[in-house]
Homo-oligomer: A and B are copies of this chain.
């Protein structure tokens, strides 16, 4: 059937199918033949919608980051909570597709992130946070969120606990003790880390202003 009445392929369906493969079978399983099969078409047909393989991967990365909701919150003195929410949302978006983490690194969608940072910067301004802190806050939250997400993504299992791959108390006694001391899940730790970072970043100003 050379041209179907209704198109069989769309960009959105291709991205969804790619993520389904990567989520359930791993990044190694991804390839054009595999993807085409999942869509019920032949591999060359994909080239009608994407110029090459890497364009598909970029669209996938774009989709993962683009699914991050922005916080709905009014500017004001409790502005740090906006960033706790933002960071957590970003982290969660990445972790939702943990097998895709390396793709995200190679095709980090700067435009999508930049769009969000513009909104966040405007929020900071409206909250009266000093301009010299803006970049520090934006980049700090980004790095904590992506760092936490990528590291968590890679420590495979869905254990809520913080450092997953069993630490041997015989050879790492101090670290094992530190882990035993901790009761928070890695999500809770992450929020706390964000709050602490924000508190430390504004510590000088708050006293001096």
Please give the residue numbers on chain A whose beta carbons come within 8 Å of chain B beta carbons, in ascending order. 101-102, 105-106, 108, 110, 114-115, 117-118, 121-122, 124-125, 131-132, 134-136, 138-140, 142-148, 150-151, 153-155, 162-163, 165, 167, 171-175, 177-179, 181-182, 186, 189, 192-193, 195-201, 203
24 intermolecular pairs with C-beta atoms under 8 Å apart: A101-B105, A102-B102, A108-B154, A114-B163, A114-B175, A118-B172, A118-B173, A124-B178, A131-B178, A131-B181, A135-B182, A136-B196, A138-B175, A142-B151, A143-B144, A146-B150, A146-B151, A147-B147, A147-B150, A196-B200, A196-B201, A197-B197, A197-B200, A199-B199
Q: Are B181 and A135 in contact (CB under 8 A)?
A: yes
